[in-house]
Chain A
Amino acid sequence: MSSILKASNVTKKFKGLVAVDDLDFDMKDNTIHSLIGPNGAGKTTTVNLITGVHDLTSGSVEFDGKIISGLPTYKIARSGIGRTFQNIKIFSSMTVLENIMVGGHEQAKLGLVRGVFDFKASKAEEKKLREKAEEILNKIGMYELKDKLMKNLPYGRQKISEIGRAMMNDPILILLDEPAAGLNPSERAELIQVITKTHREGFSYFLIEHNMDVVMNISDYITVLNFGRKIAEGTPKEVQNNEEVIKAYLGNKYVTKKKVSGEV
């Protein structure tokens, strides 16, 4: 399997604080790769570094064989990376369908002036965009809600709609920043379903999550961060049994306890 997203020696310093420290990871194509870690470990910062929201202090990020660190956010998005946000960022005064269609703005190539005067082309393009958005809404199970205003939707739906918006750009990779935060168990189950289903259809996911249910169920590979430093990586099983990880999450005490109980 070829590598799709590769971070090499990524470091980010905010003044004196080292948020991400010499992070390396290599995400393989067509996988769900998770980044976990306690609060303040630098997970969201990592996503912001990948998407160009923050500049890297040093190191580089490579996507699909090309260096993307240093590019502005919109160019990174155009290169095939979609993203959802930890604190949802939706267009609340617009309908669900419009929300998704904004994601495809760049897919429609018609310029402003031609759009005004070329009735036929603009109509055809709008139709294409709408059909694509509707197809995606079908995929994420929100087709019935398409004409509802976004702000009237429950939180879980709003979060899932962000995935749909990201899909409009035909990304290869979607970064999910804590998609399950704030969702109730049934919404969470639905989210897992959407992710696994679309993953089978060819989307790769880079997932940041606190909810271990979600992470352990769907990840192929996990990288664990603590205080900005990578402390472990491996398959979900490997990570679960890693001493460093248990120490980071639960404290020293539990490492020994586990060993004792393991011996018995």
Chain B
Amino acid sequence: MTKKMKIRIAEIIILLIALLVVPLFVKNNYYLLVFNRILINAIVVLGLNFITGLTGQMNLGMAGIFALGAYASALITRYANISPWVGLLLAIAVGWVIGQCLGYPSLRVKGVYLSLTTIGFAEVIRLMFSNLTDITGGTQGMRNIEPYSLFGFKFDTQGKMYYLFFVITAFGFFIAWRIVYSKWGRVFKSLRDNAEAVEMSGVDIADVKIKAFTICAIYGAVAGALYAHFMGYINPSTFTIDMSTNFVIMLLIGGLGSVIGNIFGAIIVTILPEMLRFLDDYYLITFSIIVLLGAIFFPNGWVDAVVRLGKKTINIISDKRAENGKAVSR
């Protein structure tokens, strides 16, 4: 193991510990709630990255996937009266099925038309849940969804849930990282640039596209399931196109294709509106303007912009030093 790798691992461990002790210091429930939302959103964005970030297909139906995960888990825990963990497994299965089904049209439909297809999908799901009143409670929503528990330990406060979601998000991050920086991530990215050339390399592009959609949908459905048991209450009117676009904004702000960027995107877009709440009526428009300006000036995402700025300043400083050094030696 090289020295560089050791430093890397040490950095990661320190970061993990720092993030794990957060609830010990932050006692405010509201802050913890925001942190939990960030973690859930991060899972969705990690998944969305595979479709919209890597293979470059605009998926505006993430809310539909999210809703299916949430309702699948909530309904099975309610009616079969079993542990939410089974609900989570069901959500994974549901995600797999959605991925296979949604991946199919993506083979035929491209660009804007695919975006419309995904929007349509999400709307169908939303309307379905609002109209299946007998089962889902319709627009009244489902109340008192049981929280997660492990060997009798109930994750019923925001602080406890934070740990649970943190572990799951970290695991999701690990998997996403491993896939994105492997031959699969590379082939996903190459699909965005030129599908025909990929096919001529002997790659079954239909299979690869469906794989990307499946990963995306599993992430979305898992996040949805977590959301249901985290909020304890779900309502179809939450899962609108606004939610889908919000996920895409997170992805864009974090930077397409970058796994670390996904996390930062989720953090920024979840926190920013909360921080702007003091603006009352104007907070949404302010937020929109900030996002718009970001899209114009930092098209590669904010994280990329900050990294570039950092590199630039370091270069300038080191250049100056070099110049000074020369002047002295002369």
Contacts and interface: CB of A to CB of B under 8 A. Distances in A.
Interface of A: 51, 53, 72-75, 77-78, 82-83, 85, 89-94, 98-99, 101-106, 108, 110, 112, 115-117, 122, 125-126, 129, 162, 165-166, 168-169
B202 A102 contact: no
A77 B194 contact: no
A74 B202 contact: yes
Interface stretch (B61-69, B183-191, B224-232): B183-191
B186 A105 contact: yes
Q: Which 4 residue pairs spanning A and B have beta carbons closest together?
A: A77-B202, A89-B197, A91-B193, A106-B202
21 contacts: A74-B204, A85-B200, A90-B193, A90-B197, A91-B193, A91-B194, A91-B197, A101-B183, A105-B183, A105-B186, A105-B187, A105-B198, A106-B202, A112-B184, A115-B179, A115-B183, A116-B178, A122-B178, A122-B182, A126-B182, A169-B202
Contacts of A53: 196
B2 interface: no
Contact of B194 (A78, A89, A101, A125): A89
Contact of B201 (A93, A106, A115): A106
B186 A102 contact: yes
Given A74-B199, A116-B175, A93 B183 contact: no
Given A94-B189, A116-B175, 12 more contacts: A72-B204, A77-B199, A77-B202, A78-B202, A89-B197, A91-B189, A91-B190, A91-B194, A102-B190, A106-B201, A162-B197, A169-B201
A74 B186 contact: no
Contacts of B199: 73-74, 77
B197 A92 contact: no
A77 B197 contact: no
Given A89-B194, A90-B194, A94-B193, A102 B211 contact: no
B271 interface: no
The A contact surface, by secondary structure, is: helix
B205 interface: yes
Contacts of A51: 200
B306 interface: no
Contacts of B16: none
A101 B189 contact: no
B135 interface: no
Given A91-B190, A108-B183, A168 B201 contact: yes
B175, B178, B202, B205 interface centre (most CB from chain A within 10 Å): B202
A168 B197 CA distance: 13
B183, B190, B198, B200 interface centre (most CB from chain A within 10 Å): B200
Nearest to A108: B183
B203 interface: yes
